[in-house]
């Protein structure tokens, strides 16, 4: 059976060789279409990969930020029991509280009540001074807050800072509470994590005591590997809590770029329709030319499926060769976009921190190949059917 199939292709091959120029032109037609799709897709893929790499460089993909969830209009708070449940999902689980304070000079700043696990999860590093001692009003400032305090308040390490927090009583009455923090240290600027740079940090137990909170405002979950992130997220989201990680940004970049690439590929793929029409036209001419031969093959025992197979074999060969040729041209096309486009982008937009503008991967090449194959076969169906339906008597009469 396999041997007969191979033979069918060899016979089809011979037909294509007889019509060399015509076959070559069809191949060119279909492969230019494939090359356009491959080239454009590689550009889209290149932009996507560069954007994702950019996100990965500045974000920790093993970190999940958990915040209170919302379900049917009810807020799901992070209670002790939720924290215990979350602990099963990550290697480092650091709950924290977050409050806004204002200095006597009306400088607002955000204070996170954190534990040692939080420092570990976020990899917080001191620039000067030391960490707060547990159970004290010592405070460690993020780099931006530190700079602000130094400029506005004139407060340096070792100085104290007077701050007020506004709490609300049971009847919604505002209660202002005054605290004096002592600046213990200052963090290194993270460069990318602006949240941390804008925050100050105190002992979590002190922070909770100050506000009287019995729930947490968030949890930092640190994983061993980024591959564990999806599983951990699902588990945490099942608890009704909300998750955020850099993966969200990557996902949205992927979504946007996939959409953009699809639209670009669609327009560049219009040339494939032309290629398909070329195949239909050529195959119809071929059926017409071989009418007499089809009559003979019917008389000597070929069935209608045999004739259809005969023509579709030719189309499959065209599709395979067109796909390979199209992929090769596509690689060249993509290389040219990279060579010409990248320096232009760097010169015009001043962005230059990427190695390649285009990315070719196996999926793009396989897709290009399959597009060529599918279009060739679809284009061959009608001509093949016409050949199979020829009246043998009329076909034999035609010379």
Partner 1 sequence: MYMVETRGLGKYYTFGSGNQVVALNDVNLAVASGEFVSIMGPSGSGKSTLLNIVGCLDKPSSGDVYIDDEKIDYGNAGSLVKLHRQTMGFVFQGFNLISTMNALENVWYPMYFNKIPKSERKERAEELLESVGLRDRALHLPSELSGGEQQRVSIARALANNPRLILADEPTGNIDSKTGGKIIDLMKKLNKEQGITFIVTTHDMVMANNADRVITITDGEIID
Q: Which residues bind partner 1 (CB under 8 A)?
A: 3-4, 7, 14-15, 18, 292-293, 295-304, 306, 392-393, 396, 399
Least Å distance, CB 11 to partner 1, is: 8
Least Å distance, CB 390 to partner 1, is: 11
Choose between 53 and 304: whose C-beta lies nearer to partner 1.
304
Count of C-beta atoms within a 10 Å radius of residue 203: 22
Written as six digits, the tokens of 355 are 């190695």
Sort strands 108-114 and 92-103 into parallel, antiparallel or unpaired.
Answer: antiparallel
Choose between 189 and 392: whose C-beta lies nearer to partner 1.
392
Question: Are 220 and 121 contacting, i.e. CB atoms less than 8 angstroms apart?
Answer: yes
Choose between 19 and 59: whose C-beta lies nearer to partner 1.
19
Count of C-beta atoms within a 10 Å radius of residue 85: 16
Least Å distance, CB 386 to partner 1, is: 16
Choose between 9 and 131: whose C-beta lies nearer to partner 1.
9
Phi, psi of 187 (to 5 degrees): -85, 155
Residues 6+ apart with CB under 8 A from 280: 379, 380, 382, 383
Least Å distance, CB 7 to partner 1, is: 7
Query: What is the DSSP secondary structure assignment for residue 59, as one 8-state letter?
Result: S
**Distance separating alpha carbons of residues 337 and 158, to the nearest angstrom:** 58
Choose between 14 and 84: whose C-beta lies nearer to partner 1.
14
Torsion, Cα 294 300 305 308, to 10 degrees, reads: -20
Choose between 359 and 395: whose C-beta lies nearer to partner 1.
395
Choose between 7 and 195: whose C-beta lies nearer to partner 1.
7
Least Å distance, CB 297 to partner 1, is: 7
Which of 232, 250, 229 is CA-nearest to residue 241?
A: 232
Choose between 14 and 177: whose C-beta lies nearer to partner 1.
14
Choose between 148 and 298: whose C-beta lies nearer to partner 1.
298
Q: What angle do CA 268, 270, 276 make, to 5 degrees?
A: 130
Query: What is the DSSP secondary structure assignment for residue 342, as one 8-state letter?
Result: H
Which of 33, 36, 39, 31 is CA-nearest to residue 358?
A: 39
Least Å distance, CB 300 to partner 1, is: 4
Least Å distance, CB 25 to partner 1, is: 20
Written as six digits, the tokens of 230 are 């999806």
Which of 295, 290, 288 is CA-nearest to residue 391?
A: 295
**Distance separating alpha carbons of residues 315 and 321, to the nearest angstrom:** 10
Q: Which 3 state secondary structure label does DSSP give 364?
A: helix
Which of 40, 59, 52, 58 is CA-nearest to residue 354?
A: 52
Least Å distance, CB 225 to partner 1, is: 56
Least Å distance, CB 293 to partner 1, is: 6
């Amino acid at each position: 059976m396999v041997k007969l199939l191979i033979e069918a292709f060899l016979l089809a091959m011979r037909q294509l060789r007889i019509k060399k120029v015509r076959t070559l032109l069809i191949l060119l037609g279909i492969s230019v279409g494939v090359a356009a799709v491959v080239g454009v897709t590689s550009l889209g893929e290149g932009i996507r990969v560069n954007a994702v790499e950019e996100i990965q460089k500045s974000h920790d993909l093993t970190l999940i930020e958990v915040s209170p969830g919302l379900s049917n209009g009810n807020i799901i708070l992070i209670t002790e029991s939720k924290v215990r449940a979350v602990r099963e999902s990550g290697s480092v689980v650091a709950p924290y509280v977050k409050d806004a304070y204002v200095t006597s000079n009306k400088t607002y700043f955000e204070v996170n009540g954190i534990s040692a696990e939080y420092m570990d999860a976020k990899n917080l590093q001191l620039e000067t001074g030391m960490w707060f001692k547990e159970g004290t009003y010592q405070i460690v400032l993020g780099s931006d807050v530190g700079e602000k305090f130094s400029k506005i308040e004139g407060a340096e390490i070792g100085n104290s800072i007077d701050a007020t927090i506004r709490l609300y009583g049971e009847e919604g009455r505002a209660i202002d509470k005054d605290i004096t923090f002592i600046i213990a240290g200052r963090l290194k600027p993270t460069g990318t994590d602006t949240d941390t740079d804008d925050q100050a940090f105190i002992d979590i137990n002190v922070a909770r005591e100050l506000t009287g909170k019995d729930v947490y405002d968030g949890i930092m979950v640190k994983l061993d590997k980024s591959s564990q992130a999806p599983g951990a997220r699902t588990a945490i989201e099942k608890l009704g809590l909300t998750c955020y990680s850099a993966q969200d940004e990557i996902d949205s970049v992927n979504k946007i770029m996939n959409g953009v690439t699809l639209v670009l590929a669609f327009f560049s793929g219009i040339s494939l329709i032309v290629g398909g029409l070329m195949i239909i036209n050529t195959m119809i001419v071929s059926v017409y030319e071989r009418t007499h031969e089809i009559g003979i093959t019917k008389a000597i025992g070929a069935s209608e499926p045999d004739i259809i197979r005969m023509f579709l074999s030719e189309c499959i060969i065209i599709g395979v060769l067109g796909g390979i040729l199209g992929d090769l041209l596509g690689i060249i096309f993509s290389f040219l976009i990279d060579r010409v486009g990248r320096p232009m982008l760097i010169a015009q937009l001043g962005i230059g921190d990427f190695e390649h503008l285009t990315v070719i991967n196996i999926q793009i090449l396989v897709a290009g190949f399959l597009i060529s194959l599918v279009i060739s076969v679809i284009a061959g169906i009608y001509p093949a059917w016409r050949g199979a339906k020829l009246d043998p008597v009329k076909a034999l009469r035609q010379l």
